[in-house]
């Protein structure tokens, strides 16, 4: 078969692919109470499907040229030195924390028994890597108004010589107080990992979240700001050594840094002598860490490159949807507490009021969180049931207070109370666990979806 015919067939396949997607994804009429309103979901068009099919036609599959391009484009968007693709946001957190255990960091490495400060209410895979690497999480409380840490708890959690790092998420896209957390870490020579999985595109002052710590992480699972189906990334903010270590941990623990399909980029493949191996042992099979295989596929990266082009529009939609919901639910402040961005003191229909002397933040909202007040005519569970009955997707704030989860309760029993430390009573995290839920802000929502969400919440409190 001639090259010209191959090109023709490929073009025909891609054209028919676009046609199929355009026919299949035509908007469907919305019927309140019958049509499902997800809290999140994929938002894509023929561009992503064509890119994925085109990559599949080459049948490279393993992470390769599309992956390299996506990593470069993501790092450029964020303003970090390097982004490295992995197969999920949870894997990104595991790779990031494990990177800080490398012997190549000398005395600053995290060793078994060292402590890492985190917050109590959130998603479990922000915390699980701390335990999986043999370290001890130290839980501090959340502020229910922002969903983020109470910065005044940091000093109480710190133990000189034992505390090595801080690792926590920007809750539902709301940046935590990076000014205070960065200052705290720098003054004590601590590492900082930002779990940026729910916050791609959020800004603290004039910088993106995910650029303040030593490492940060992303998730590309379908509910997130952009999707590869599955996938995630580790962002290396500045330190070049982290790139080598994180790639080693992602790629089986190998010492070699050659990309797939390439050999001898160091020009010394058969000249190394490391560990107790013989001189000249093949560098492709020398392992400097206990690693994993956590790479995604190249067609996923091809899809992600198209998603990344749409990210500014996606972010603006999330901001607009959050604002629309907040305006629509104004007047329910006696029964509901609403989230405020970090450093905001109040919300009005004309915008937020900000603390004097603090940077303004611009959340790329992952969801719209509400907390049912004590004395309201129904509980959080009642509100969730009302939303469910109206076919409106809603979620708790992930695992709630994680120290109450069965896995953590059992771990603490198994380790005779030494699995983790808790600072204070965690009243804020408990309130989030008992009273909070969130509904969607994702770009796939239309005005009729948002109006149905507003009407359902108001009706639940007899205020429609």
Q: 348 and 215 in one domain? A: no
20, part of any domain: no
Binning the chain into helix, strand and coil, the percentages to the nearest 5 are 40, 20, 40
HSE of 452, CA atoms in CB hemisphere, 13 A: 24
Residue 289 · residue 245 · CB < 8 Å: yes
- 312 phi/psi in degrees, rounded to 5: -55, -40
3-state secondary structure of 151: helix
- Nearest alpha carbon to residue 315 among 427, 160, 208: 208
Q: 184 and 84 in one domain? A: yes
Residue 429 · residue 119 · CB < 8 Å: yes
3-state secondary structure of 199: coil
Task: Name the DSSP letter for residue 90.
Answer: H
HSE of 315, CA atoms in CB hemisphere, 13 A: 17
Give Cβ neighbours of residue 306 (< 8 Å, ≥ 6 apart). Answer: 44, 47, 48, 51
Q: 253 and 321 in one domain? A: no
- Nearest alpha carbon to residue 195 among 178, 270, 185: 178
Residues in the chain where the model's pLDDT stays below 70: 463-464
Give Cβ neighbours of residue 98 (< 8 Å, ≥ 6 apart). Answer: 129, 133, 249, 289
Q: Kindly tell me the burial class for residue 205, based on how many C-beta atoms sit within 10 Å of its own C-beta (0-12, 13-18, 19 or more).
A: middle
CA 261, distance to chain mean position in Å, is 30
Residue carrying the six token digits 């207070």: 401
Residue carrying the six token digits 């509901």: 336
Task: Note the pLDDT of residue 443.
Answer: 97
Q: 240 and 129 in one domain? A: yes
**CA distance from start to end of the chain:** 67
Say how far apart CA 308 and CA 69 lie, in whole Å: 11
> Across the strands, what pairs with 368?
439
Residue 365 · residue 441 · CB < 8 Å: yes
Say how far apart CA 336 and CA 355 lie, in whole Å: 23
Domain at 161, CATH number: 3.40.640.10
Give Cβ neighbours of residue 113 (< 8 Å, ≥ 6 apart). Answer: 134, 135, 136, 162
Q: 169 and 68 in one domain? A: yes
Catalytic residues: 224
Q: 337 and 368 in one domain? A: yes
Q: 318 and 288 in one domain? A: no
Task: Note the pLDDT of residue 159.
Answer: 98
Q: Kindly tell me the burial class for residue 297, based on how many C-beta atoms sit within 10 Å of its own C-beta (0-12, 13-18, 19 or more).
A: buried
Say how far apart CA 380 and CA 375 lie, in whole Å: 11
Q: What residue numbers bound the domain in which 160 lies?
A: 57-299
410, part of any domain: yes
304, part of any domain: no
Q: 238 and 319 in one domain? A: no
Q: What is the b/e burial string over 88-123, where b = at least 16 CB atoms within 10 angstroms of the residue's CB?
A: bbbbbbbbbbbbbbbeebeeeebeeebbbbbbbbbb
Domain at 413, CATH number: 3.90.1150.10
3-state secondary structure of 114: coil
The structural domain count of the chain equals: 2
Domain boundary among 276, 299, 322: 299
Domain boundary among 246, 266, 299: 299
Residue 136 · residue 122 · CB < 8 Å: no
* Whole-Å CA distances, 38 to 167, 235, 319, 456: 30, 29, 17, 14
Residue carrying the six token digits 């082009």: 309
């Amino acid at each position: 078969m001639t090259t010209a015919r191959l090109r023709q067939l490929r073009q025909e396949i891609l054209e028919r692919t676009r046609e199929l997607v355009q026919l299949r994804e035509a908007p469907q009429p919305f019927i309140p109470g019958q049509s499902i309103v997800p809290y999140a979901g994929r938002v894509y068009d023929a561009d992503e499907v064509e890119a994925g099919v085109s990559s599949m036609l080459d049948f490279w599959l393993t992470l390769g040229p599309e992956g390299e391009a996506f990593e470069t484009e993501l790092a450029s968007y964020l303003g970090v030195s390097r982004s490295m693709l992995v197969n999920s946001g949870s894997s990104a957190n595991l790779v990031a924390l494990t990177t800080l255990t490398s012997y190549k960091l000398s005395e600053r490495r995290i060793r078994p028994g060292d402590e890492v400060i985190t917050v109590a209410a959130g998603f479990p895979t922000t915390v699980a890597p701390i335990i999986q690497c043999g370290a001890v999480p130290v839980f501090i409380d959340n502020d229910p108004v922002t969903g983020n840490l109470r910065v005044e708890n940091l000093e109480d959690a710190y133990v000189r010589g034992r505390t090595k790092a801080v690792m926590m998420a920007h809750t539902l896209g709301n940046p935590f107080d990076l000014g205070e957390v960065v200052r705290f870490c720098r003054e004590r020579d601590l590492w900082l990992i930002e779990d940026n999985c729910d916050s791609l595109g959020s800004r603290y002052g004039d910088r993106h979240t995910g650029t303040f710590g030593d490492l940060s992480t992303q998730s590309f699972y379908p509910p997130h700001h952009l999707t590869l189906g599955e996938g995630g990334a580790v962002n290396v903010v500045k330190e070049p050594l982290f790139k080598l270590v994180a790639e080693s941990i992602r790629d089986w623990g190998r010492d070699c840094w050659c990309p797939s399909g390439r050999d001898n980029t160091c020009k010394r493949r058969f000249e190394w002598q490391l560990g107790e191996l013989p001189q000249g042992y093949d560098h492709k099979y020398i392992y400097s860490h206990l690693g994993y295989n956590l790479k995604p596929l190249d067609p996923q990266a091809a899809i992600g490159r198209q998603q990344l082009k749409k990210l500014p529009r996606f972010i603006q939609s999330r901001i607009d949807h959050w604002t629309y919901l907040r305006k629509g639910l104004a007047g329910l402040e006696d029964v509901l507490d609403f989230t405020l961005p970090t450093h905001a003191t109040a919300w009005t229909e004309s915008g937020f009021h900000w603390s004097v002397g603090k940077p303004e933040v611009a959340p790329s909202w992952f969801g719209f969180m509400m907390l049912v007040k004590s004395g309201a005519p129904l509980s959080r569970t009642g509100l969730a049931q009302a939303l469910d009955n109206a076919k409106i997707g809603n979620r708790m704030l992930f695992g709630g207070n994680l120290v109450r989860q069965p896995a953590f309760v059992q771990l603490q029993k198994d380790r005779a109370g030494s699995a983790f430390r808790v600072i204070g009573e965690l009243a804020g995290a408990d309130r989030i666990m008992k009273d909070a839920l969130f509904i969607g802000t994702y770009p796939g929502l239309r005005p009729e979806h948002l109006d149905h969400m507003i009407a359902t919440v108001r009706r639940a409190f007899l205020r429609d």
